Structure 1
Amino acid sequence: MKLKKTFLAVAAALPLLSANVLADTVTAADLKERVFGSLFGEYYMPDTDKTESAAWSYMEKDWGYGIELGYYLTENWALRAEYARMEMQSKLDGTDVNGNRYGIDAMYHLSNMPALYLVGGIKRMDAAQNTTAFNLGVGYKHFFNQNFALFAEANRYQGIDESYGDAGIKLGMSYLFGSAAAKAAPTPAPAPAPVRAQPVAPVPVADTDGDGVPDNIDNCAGTPAVHKVDASGCTVYVEKMAAVGDIDIEVRFPFDSAVVGAEQRDDVDNLGAFMQRFTESTVMIEGHASNIGNPAYNMRLSERRATAVADILKNDFNVDPSRISAVGYGVTKPRVEGNTPEAHAANQRIEAKVTAKIKEPVLR
């Protein structure tokens, strides 16, 4: 009975310690999903029957020590494993009655007072005899900061395979590993809705050409309705390289000659001026011949004549050679079929195929 009164007195004192002495600085949310370890000293009080029984070596109340390792599963629940060394003596002759205690506990922390907790578990003890007991108790942890805490705990150990009721009081230090999860910032109060001025109806602005740009900012009045326009009302163009067509160059060569005479330069000069103006244009000079004489000879002759025109563009108009190609086709691409004087005159020619950058309007 005296042992039970001592246990109840300690259990009743823990809430008073929480309320009057220690100031808690950690909330239940700060404990969640954290590992903790503890070192403790313990005053162990065997059942009165043990102190008066030879089977229990007349063990006396005495001190012990131990370690704990645990984990906070939620804001309220935690699990821990415990090992304690029980350093007790025999009341009869003072000999050692040492033993070990180890087991697991479940801990429940009160939501409105997380420093105060209830504990229950099962233990195996080998002091004097090997026995198993379940324990129930109450404890208190005072947190100095997010990691260190001082704790006090009282337990009653009720034998399962042997009939006894021991008690123990622990004092120790706990260390919580890691840090508490960051707390979400409070949601700020919504700002008051601004007072909105009454909308003023806009004054319509004319769009004479119907391109979607008002006349007061339209810099290109009268654009076609099918053209896409920019913010200034002007047609949007896209540039691309495209063939601008074949240009016939009327160059007459003396018999068996590839020299361009001065009287034959007008068309060549016009082509050179065009390529000087449009610096991204390119040209393919094609030499053709009539179907008179040896075809192989006519092929070489057409090549020399095409090269002669290309050289004029390079040398007299400074057109980059990379922009000029020259090829002879001989009699292979006649403009007019037949062996008449008219067909021969039409086929004795030089053609220029010009490609230049052109601008095309983008359509809606």
Structure 2
Amino acid sequence: MKLNKTFFAVAVALPMFSAPLVANTVSAADLNERVFGSLFAEYYMPDRDKTRSAAWNYMEKDAGYGIELGYYLTENWALRAEFAKLDLQSKLNGSDADGNRIGIDALYHLPQMKPVYLVGGLKRMDAVQNNTAFNIGIGYKHFFNQNFGLFAEANRYQGIDDSYADAGIKLGMTFLFGSAAAKAAPTPAPAPAPAPAPVVAKPVAVADTDADGVPDNADRCADTPATHKVDSSGCTVYEETMASVGDIDIEVRFPFDSAAVPASQRVDVENLGAFMQRFPESTVLIEGHASNIGNPAYNMKLSERRAATIADILKNDFNIAQSRITAIGYGVTRPRVEGSSREAHAANQRIEAKVTAKIKQPVLR
């Protein structure tokens, strides 16, 4: 089974032919619920396998003609019945290979391209052999007045009883019976009712006990300070800002050369985690510091690991988001107490937490 190249060429070209033509004088609405009849001539192209088969008498391409009768169901959909005479001959010896074709089609006019329509249907043909086929195609219909028009249409006929793919190109004229239904004039909109005369209410004095500008009958916050700005309910308007709430020393004593936090040293860390859970917009900077014993570069790495350990506890045990935590190690670069005494080493080996939280303050007048 092979597709006919001529069919596809015509199917693609039909919408293009519409561009230079004069616009249709029949609108889509004019087609609704009207009967139409058509006469057409057809160039019929049997499948290549038919032209080479004795079973089909070596059927050759040739002409045909026919008649159609249809009805527009809506602006877009139509049904039609067709009778066609296929005047075909044998390619081998010129003998008759003609026959008749009858069938029914459904037509769908594309909403955005009203002259162009798609067609599909079922056909019964008796050319050489009795067989049934379904067809699909595309067409273009142009009306010159309210009743008369011309059309072109290309179809592919796919055999059901036998596997073949014929094609046909129709050119014809069509006639719309009757006339389009008269369009009802739009009902005029009723005149607007006259606007009622405005009623001027007399002002009624209302008490404002706390002198905040909101009367007592609408004031939900009595005795608001005179210096506070209030909302429409008489309540203080607050503004929230992110500000440092101070440095927090976390007393954690790590084992020698270790960044693991012993269970006995977790109290301050847990208090910090609980604070950050309570204030979900707070952030923290974890600073690790070391005493000036040993190699400074090693102490820097050790202080970074210890700060990271505190950060991990906040993330893993208290579900504090990583974006709210910054961990950094300073090694021995920021001693709290200068010197090499035991007291200085104890004071400098520390973890500091710098917490920033949202502060709510009243807006003043």
What TM-score does the superposition give when structure 1 sets the normalisation length? 0.51
Aligned identity (percent) is 77
Alignment partner of 1:20: what SS? Answer: coil
Q: CA deviation at 1:4?
A: 2.7
* 1:55-66 aligned within 5 A: 55-66=55-66
Deviation per residue, 1:203-240 (Å, 9 max, x gap) = xxxxxxxxxxxxxxxxxxxxxxxxxxxxxxxxxxxxxx
Q: CA deviation at 1:132?
A: 0.1
Rounded to whole Å, the distance in 2 between the matches of 1:140 and 1:188 is 38
Q: CA deviation at 1:112?
A: 2.9
Tell me, yes or no, if the aligned pair for 2:4 and 2:47 is still in contact at 8 Å.
Answer: no
**Which residue does 1:164 correspond to in 2?**
164
**Which residue does 2:84 correspond to in 1?**
84
Rounded to whole Å, the distance in 1 between the matches of 2:37 and 2:139 is 15
Q: CA deviation at 1:113?
A: 2.6
Rounded to whole Å, the distance in 1 between the matches of 2:92 and 2:52 is 9
Rounded to whole Å, the distance in 1 between the matches of 2:12 and 2:89 is 29
Rounded to whole Å, the distance in 2 between the matches of 1:180 and 1:145 is 12
Tell me, yes or no, if the aligned pair for 2:104 and 2:121 is still in contact at 8 Å.
Answer: yes
Tell me, yes or no, if the aligned pair for 2:2 and 2:165 is still in contact at 8 Å.
Answer: no
Rounded to whole Å, the distance in 2 between the matches of 1:140 and 1:186 is 33
Which residue identity lines up with residue 82 of structure 1 in the other structure?
E
Deviation per residue, 1:84-112 (Å, 9 max, x gap) = 00001110011111100001001111223
What TM-score does the superposition give when structure 2 sets the normalisation length? 0.51
Q: CA deviation at 1:5?
A: 2.0
Q: CA deviation at 1:6?
A: 1.1
* 1:133-148 aligned within 5 A: 133-148=133-148
Which residue identity lines up with residue 101 of structure 1 in the other structure?
R
**Which residue does 2:4 correspond to in 1?**
4
The answer to whether residue 103 in structure 2 is matched with residue 97 in structure 1 is: no
Rounded to whole Å, the distance in 2 between the matches of 1:17 and 1:110 is 16
Rounded to whole Å, the distance in 2 between the matches of 1:149 and 1:80 is 16
Tell me, yes or no, if the aligned pair for 1:3 and 1:45 is still in contact at 8 Å.
Answer: no
How has the CA–CA distance of structure 1 residues 46 and 150 changed in structure 2, closer, same or farther, with 3 Å as cutoff? same
Which residue identity lines up with residue 4 of structure 2 in the other structure?
K
Q: How many residues of Structure 1 are paired with residues of Structure 2 in the alignment?
A: 198
Alignment partner of 2:168: what SS? Answer: strand
Consecutive unaligned residues in structure 2, runs of 5 or more: 199-365
Consecutive unaligned residues in structure 1, runs of 5 or more: 199-364
How has the CA–CA distance of structure 1 residues 23 and 178 changed in structure 2, closer, same or farther, with 3 Å as cutoff? same
Alignment partner of 1:114: what SS? Answer: coil
How has the CA–CA distance of structure 1 residues 2 and 9 changed in structure 2, closer, same or farther, with 3 Å as cutoff? farther
How has the CA–CA distance of structure 1 residues 159 and 22 changed in structure 2, closer, same or farther, with 3 Å as cutoff? farther
**Which residue does 2:125 correspond to in 1?**
125
Tell me, yes or no, if the aligned pair for 2:36 and 2:69 is still in contact at 8 Å.
Answer: yes
* 1:1-364 aligned within 5 A: 4-186=4-186
Alignment partner of 1:108: what SS? Answer: strand
Alignment partner of 2:58: what SS? Answer: coil
Q: CA deviation at 1:48?
A: 0.2
**Which residue does 2:211 correspond to in 1?**
none
Rounded to whole Å, the distance in 2 between the matches of 1:165 and 1:173 is 26
Rounded to whole Å, the distance in 1 between the matches of 2:2 and 2:166 is 12
Q: CA deviation at 1:159?
A: 0.1
Alignment partner of 1:59: what SS? Answer: coil
Rounded to whole Å, the distance in 1 between the matches of 2:189 and 2:140 is 38
Rounded to whole Å, the distance in 2 between the matches of 1:92 and 1:64 is 20
